[in-house]
Structure 1
């Protein structure tokens, strides 16, 4: 029984039909999909807000503290987070991030003690920094965030937040090159992980890429999927 529980997993899929959202869950123990939750975005945001919500766009998805956060960009009305509590399978809308943080390129992580942390790359000048702030328990209220750390990034590279889950952040970086020095081999693509506890960047993968062919990284594979296949 212990071995079964260790390898058991769920796959959660968010589907949207106009303004209504559905959560489908696949259980590894049954092998079947089921509808676990559904909600109308009108009920969550209200009619007045929905008047400005023409084409809601998901520009980020994060998992931390037992919740999944989808970042919604809503035209010129700002940014909200659609939140799914994965234990209760209930939707809610979270407050927007602090001023200046309501755009793409965020990463939400677990900061410990059931608190949320948030990373964002800030490029106010030629130099770029990775800013880290900590909020309240599972909350994204703009009044609860406190600056925690600023990490200077190498100016010879362009950085981007790719993903975050649990206490880890995944970044990619490419060398900044002028058109005169551009190589047919393409830029060097590298991926770095950052552990919230140590706040140290660790290189996990890198290789030259060319054209528009870009790699895709996945995290949080279950032990059963990582094990060697048998015949």
Structure 2
């Protein structure tokens, strides 16, 4: 039996006690108890270690900068209450230009990624993704109302992605290359050309300067980006593969998917034990007496996906919104007639327990985080 740890200071003993608080609500209560507790709990180093033990919970769904929060009796509802009325759009503190507006592209680890677009035609950026390479790009911390503008993409890098050869371009946030620095982040732009793929990366640890990576292999379109165990994952329907980008080595690999998969919104990849991948798939409930859909959990072994468990879902038609904060979030495929809202259900990726999460509109990015009082600056 290992001897008990020896604590050299009172602060070390308190930190060990705080590490045993498993919910954000309990940690927030401890932080509010007195100034010395708050000093320890809001320290960057403590929060980094706490996040490693207890990842921030799923708080809600972002819909055009407004949070649709978890609602009671869901376990995340208490933490979500702290964000009531909070504005995640970042537009109130970003610089303005005549005739320009800000379009949110991504949200990750408490940061938002936005691009400058024409105020008269914000949808133009969606239709003409090539324009993103020449737009103002901002990374924001909506809780602390901070932002940084990235340097322009150099001409020699934009030349790698000619407009006539571009099939799709996706910009997104990525964890920083310095895991010990809580202010470190990266912005990635993955361009799908007819002949290859080009990845442009801006790293905060390098002053935001851009550099490029080229991948010769080319497959079909990519959908449903997720971050799992240090890999960005995309669904590629032609051929049916899961494309993986290692965020440390910046190398691409592929994993075969079950042939019965049809759409990217019908499944999500989750973190399984021992660094493995898991898959949650919605299965039509046409064969059930009550017609309710099923949720299938599978893991890969010997290059094949093996079924581990079936879970009966509460309603007939559902689709996947994404994964964040230890939960997969599902939405109903029909609205509540009286309110015109969809119902959201969460699935705990460890226990596979299904719970009602709340009601809202179509939704967008999932937001996971600690209450504002426990959020250290990310920029």
TM-score, normalization by structure 2: 0.44
Q: Partner of 2:244 in structure 1?
A: 83
Q: Aligned-pair distance for 1:63?
A: 1.9
Q: Is it true that 1:201 corresponds to 2:354 in the alignment?
A: yes
Q: Aligned-pair distance for 1:223?
A: 9.8
Q: Is it true that 1:146 corresponds to 2:299 in the alignment?
A: no
Q: Partner of 1:164 in structure 2?
A: 323
Determine which structure has more spread, i.e. the larger CA radius of gyration: 2
1:17 to 188, 193, 205: 193
Q: Partner of 2:237 in structure 1?
A: 73
Residues 195 and 71 (structure 1), Cα distance of their counterparts in 2 relative to 1, 3 Å cut: same
Is the 2:335–2:342 Cα contact (8 Å) retained in structure 1? no
Q: Partner of 1:216 in structure 2?
A: 364
Q: Aligned-pair distance for 1:22?
A: 1.9
- The DSSP-based 3-state class of the residue aligned with 1:84 is strand
Q: Aligned-pair distance for 1:20?
A: 1.7
Q: For 1:117 and 1:108, how far apart are their aligned partners in 2?
A: 6
Q: Partner of 1:189 in structure 2?
A: 342
After superposition, the C-alpha distances for 1:15-57 in whole angstroms (9 at most, x for unaligned) are: 2222321222333344525235221234xx6xxxxxxxxxx23
Q: Partner of 1:26 in structure 2?
A: 202
Q: Partner of 1:101 in structure 2?
A: 261
Q: For 1:133 and 1:192, how far apart are their aligned partners in 2?
A: 20
Q: For 2:365 and 2:189, how far apart are their aligned partners in 1?
A: 18
Unaligned runs of 5+ in 1: 46-55
Q: For 1:202 and 1:10, how far apart are their aligned partners in 2?
A: 34
| Structure 1 residues 92-131: aligned runs within 5 Å | 92-95=253-256, 97-101=257-261, 103-104=263-264, 105-125=266-286, 126-131=291-296
Q: Is it true that 1:62 corresponds to 2:210 in the alignment?
A: no
1:38 to 204, 207, 214: 214
Q: Aligned-pair distance for 1:70?
A: 1.0
The structure with the largest strand share of the pair is 1
Q: For 2:310 and 2:298, how far apart are their aligned partners in 1?
A: 9
Q: Kindly report the root-mean-square deviation, in angstroms, between the aligned alpha carbons of the 2 structures.
A: 3.3
Q: For 1:166 and 1:218, how far apart are their aligned partners in 2?
A: 9
Q: Partner of 1:53 in structure 2?
A: none
Larger RCO, structure (CA 8 Å, separation 6 or more): 2
Is the 2:325–2:369 Cα contact (8 Å) retained in structure 1? no
Aligned residues: 195
